[in-house]
Amino acid sequence: MDMSTVQRDLKIPTFDDVKEAQRRLAGVAHVTPVLTSKTANAMADASLFFKAENLQRAGAFKFRGAYNSVAALDPAARANGVVAFSSGNHAQALAYAARLHGISCVIIMPKDAPEMKVAATRGYGAEVVFYDRYTEDREVITRRIATERNATIIPPFDYADVIAGQGTAAAELIEEVGAIDYLVVPLGGGGLLAGSALSARALAPGCKVVGVEPEAGDDGRQSLQKGEIVTIPVPKSIADGALTTAIGRHNFPILKQDVDDILTVSDTQLIETMRFFAERLKIIVEPTGCLAAAAVMHGVLACKGKRVGMVLSGGNVDLKTFGALLDARRA
Ligand SMILES: *Cc1c(COP(=O)(O)O)cnc(C)c1O
């Protein structure tokens, strides 16, 4: 890592932090299966390995980073609880991780967050505090609540222990299948991609690391091209776990150093990939969870004859939405 490009106030994780996360997660996170499919291999003319994090606890890889972050806290600080702003998978993951540690968790969500997500987060025992996304600043509210309760803020991606935890999924994948030529993962704020890159560099030398984001929001690709973090307006895509407007500051130095390419896929390609997984592998993968597989199976990544590992990052989509997306494309 070129330290001159890294600001001093940042704690950038290394593969040692991923190994530490693996120890903390042992016996807690599921070692999710690596799925293969002859049909998928034939479509891509390559050997494909799908790490099924849609089957992870709380339905997404986010449990890894959230649990690792809570476990890494000093016990005295941890006892005061954790706070996050999120209406997505990080909210549920952190709520669950907090419950497993017997501590309190406050999640800040917009007033208009989907009722399902609110219910799921409360279901894991978290307290939900609402804010008005048009008149209030969620970061200010998050900091205020953290200060009032002396609690620790655990961000969804821009945080060393989150990155290290997310890296354990790729580590397991490589440990299970051996050498791979490509590791392809979804990209939102870059927690999964940065952690995966740390694991790939350490465990699979020569493996190319590729991130995939929605076509509508290619800030990651722009940032890598420009050599600095590029911020975009909130993108419109069905990949609701990857609608971030900028890569995190802890994530970008790792991406700059260790990521070979960033690709994009369309919503249509995501839906076709969701359908493939449901029909052929009998699994539900949410739109964001299909980003990497869509790039590989629709030829966006040229990987003929290669061994390709992918993370299916999550499975949290309600069946009504799932059905509507598939129906809309059937016509
Ligand atoms: C959060 C999330 C992502 C994106 O992860 P980042 O660490 O923000 O890049 C991808 N897929 C799913 C299912 C997610 O929940």
Residue 258's H or E segment, with its range, is helix 252-258
Q: Which two tokens stand for residue 131?
A: 């804010």
Q: Return the percentage of the chain with pLDDT > 70, whole number.
A: 97
Least confident of 23-32, 125-134, 160-169, 270-279: 125-134
* Averaged pLDDT for residues 16-23: 98
Q: In 14-126, at which residue ranges do the beta strands (DSSP E only) sit?
A: 34-35, 47-52, 82-85, 105-110
pLDDT tens digit sequence for 93-132:
999 999 999 999 999 998 888 888 899 999 999 999 999 8
pLDDT over 70 at 139, yes or no: yes
The terminus-to-terminus CA distance of the chain in angstroms comes to 50
Whether residue 21 contacts residue 164, with contact meaning beta carbons closer than 8 Å, is answered with yes
The protein residue with its alpha carbon nearest to ligand 1, atom 5, reads: 188
| Model confidence pLDDT, tens digit, residues 196-250 | 999 999 999 999 999 999 999 999 999 999 999 999 998 999 999 999 999 999 9
pTM of the prediction?
0.96
User: What pLDDT was estimated at residue 181?
Assistant: 98
Nearest 5°: phi and psi at 235? -75, 160
Quote the pLDDT of residue 232.
95
Q: Which CATH class, in words, describes the domain spanning 3-61+159-330?
A: alpha beta
Pocket of ligand 1 (CB under 6 A): 60, 62, 88-89, 157, 166, 186-193, 241-242, 244, 286, 288-289, 313-314
Give the separation between CA 45 and CA 66, rounded to whole angstroms.
36
Whether 7 has a pLDDT exceeding 60, the answer reads no
CATH class of 63-153: alpha beta
Number of helical (H) and strand (E) elements in the chain, helices listed first: 14, 10
Domain boundaries, the chain: 3-61+159-330, 63-153
The answer to whether domain 3-61+159-330 and domain 63-153 are alike in fold is: yes
Distance CA 294, CA 274 (A): 9
Phi, psi of 61, deg, nearest 5: -60, -20
Ligand 1, atom 7: closest residue by C-alpha = 191
* pLDDT confidence of residue 331: 46
Output the six-digit token pair for 46: 């390559």
Q: Known catalytic residue: 47?
A: no
Residue 158 — very low, low, confident or very high, per pLDDT cuts 50/70/90? very high
Residue 6: per-residue pLDDT: 52
Nearest to 206 by CA among 298, 299, 307, 300: 307
Distance 68 CA to ligand 1 centre (A): 16
Q: Which residue's alpha carbon is nearest to atom 4 within ligand 1?
A: 188
Can you say whether the dihedral through the CA atoms of 165, 169, 170, 176 is positive or negative? positive
Annotated catalytic residue within 17, 51, 86, 87: 87
Split at pLDDT 50, 70, 90, the class of 8 is low
Span 176-197, average pLDDT: 98
Ligand 1, pocket-test mutation among 57, 192, 229, most atoms within 8 A of CB: 192
Percent of the residues in the chain that have a pLDDT greater than 90, as a whole number: 89
